[in-house]
Structure 1
Amino acid sequence: MEVEVKLRLPNSESHQALSSVLSKFLVKTHFQHNIFFDGANSELSAKRAVLRLRFYGEDPQTAERCVLSLKAKAVLVNGVSRVEEDEEEFDPFLGREIWANPNLIGSTKSRLLNRVRQEFKVEEEIGYVCLGGFKNVRGVYDWKGLKLEVDETLFEFGTLYEIECESGEPEKAKEIIEEALKENGIPYSCSKMSKFAIFRSRELPL
């Protein structure tokens, strides 16, 4: 179970303001390309599951790292997200091949893909589809004992700004983050939708 605080920043100005406040705590910046898949008959989404390939690097065609993820049964309430998650490191070359031909999901050797085949029983003659995806620029900060991830997510229809913080004590972490935002006059709100849900809706939430 992945448990995260998720707070939305309203615009690029608030994102820049927070980045400036946290600048001395910056550990790294990730360029992430997220690509999603489903069965042609929506077998995964029908069970509230999401299969994602994430490429790390400015160009996914030359990325040297790729992570395969299966997430399911996500719940997001009052800025705290809880979701079942399974991940594995994945060969970037194979990841790019699957991106080009999603039906390779049905035959590629992988612990996680084998789980997908067993649990969701996508019909081989119908196969899998690529849903598309989006780019994310993530600043990672080591701050007050928390690992903050400040995202600039670029969809075709707009840009989302968000803070994420994985924690075993999410309510406490949320309180610490909110206090800092208020002290620095940075507006925010609790996130109400996952990035994937926003991507599928093709509209930024109000």
Structure 2
Amino acid sequence: MEVEVKLRIKDLENFDKLKTLLKTFHFKTLNQENHFFDTPDNDLSVNRSVLRIRIVNNDEIGTKAIVCLKSKPVLIDGVSRVEEDEEEIDGAVALSYVKDSSLLNTLDSRILKRCRDEFGVVNEKGIVGLGGFKNVRNVYTWRGLKLEVDETQYEFGNCYEIECESEDPESVKMELEGFLNENGIDYKYSEMTKFAVFRSGKMPS
């Protein structure tokens, strides 16, 4: 179970102000490509699950790829809880799956086995690409926390968000809100996952 605090920053002006305040705590920047997949009948989505391949580029680590299955997301008052299973795969191989989603049927992967066993979706019906979005993630080590400050680039616009994974989300949320309020940064609780925003095709209100 992944538990995260998710706060949406109002706009680019507030986002840039936040990054300036956190500048001395910067740890790394990750350029992420997120690609999503389902059956033609959306069997995974119907079962509140998401299959994603994330390709991550960083000057220090090079390129890596992670296949991920997320299930049963709950996002209430800026706290996200979701069942998550991840597996690293070769970056070049991942790109081939993005170009031709039918190749996912041949992937020897624990994640794809779960899709077959739990949802019966891959071999029987095939799998199709849904598209995706890019995300620039700046990671900061701040007050003993790892903050992930995201600029998510959809075809219909950009969203800005600060996330922090924690086993004590209410305390983290209180600390983050105090910091944002003290520095006049306009924010609200995130109400939709990035995938939900992508599927809606429009910016969240």
TM-score category, normalised to shorter length? over 0.9
Distance 2:198 2:161 in 1: 14
Distance 2:123 2:27 in 1: 44
* Residue 126 of structure 1, CA deviation: 3.3
Scaled by the length of structure 1, the TM-score of the pair is: 0.95
Residue identity opposite 1:85 in structure 2: E
Paired residues of 1:138 and 1:149 also in contact (CA < 8 A): yes
State the match for 2:33 in structure 1.
33
State the match for 1:146 in structure 2.
145
State the match for 1:164 in structure 2.
163
Paired residues of 2:116 and 2:123 also in contact (CA < 8 A): no
Paired residues of 1:6 and 1:163 also in contact (CA < 8 A): yes
Distance 2:170 2:32 in 1: 27
State the match for 2:19 in structure 1.
19
* Residue 125 of structure 1, CA deviation: 5.6
* Residue 101 of structure 1, CA deviation: 1.6
Aligned-residue sequence identity (percent) comes to: 51
State the match for 1:195 in structure 2.
194
Scaled by the length of structure 2, the TM-score of the pair is: 0.95
State the match for 2:49 in structure 1.
49
State the match for 1:173 in structure 2.
172
Distance 1:147 1:95 in 2: 27
Unaligned runs of 5+ in 2: none
Distance 1:121 1:128 in 2: 11
Distance 2:114 2:103 in 1: 14
Paired residues of 1:7 and 1:188 also in contact (CA < 8 A): yes
Distance 2:12 2:98 in 1: 31
Paired residues of 2:4 and 2:163 also in contact (CA < 8 A): yes
Alignment RMSD: 1.2
Paired residues of 2:30 and 2:57 also in contact (CA < 8 A): yes
Unaligned runs of 5+ in 1: none
Residue identity opposite 2:94 in structure 1: G
1:64-123 deviation per Cα after TM superposition (whole angstroms, max 9, x unaligned): 200111000000000000000000111112211111221222221111111112111126
Paired residues of 1:74 and 1:81 also in contact (CA < 8 A): yes
Deviates more, 1:19-28 or 1:87-96: 87-96
* SS, match of residue 124 in structure 1: helix
User: In the TM superposition, what are the counterparts of 1:74-85 in structure 2 within 5 Å?
Assistant: 74-85=73-84
* Residue 124 of structure 1, CA deviation: 3.3
Distance 1:123 1:65 in 2: 24
Residue identity opposite 1:135 in structure 2: K
Residue identity opposite 1:43 in structure 2: D
Counterpart check, 1:87 vs 2:90: no
Distance 1:109 1:21 in 2: 44
Number of positions where the alignment pairs a residue of Structure 1 with one of Structure 2: 202
Paired residues of 1:141 and 1:147 also in contact (CA < 8 A): yes
Distance 1:123 1:110 in 2: 12
Residue identity opposite 2:190 in structure 1: S
State the match for 2:204 in structure 1.
205
Tell me: CA distance 1:29–1:106, structure 2 relative to 1, closer, same or farther (3 Å): same
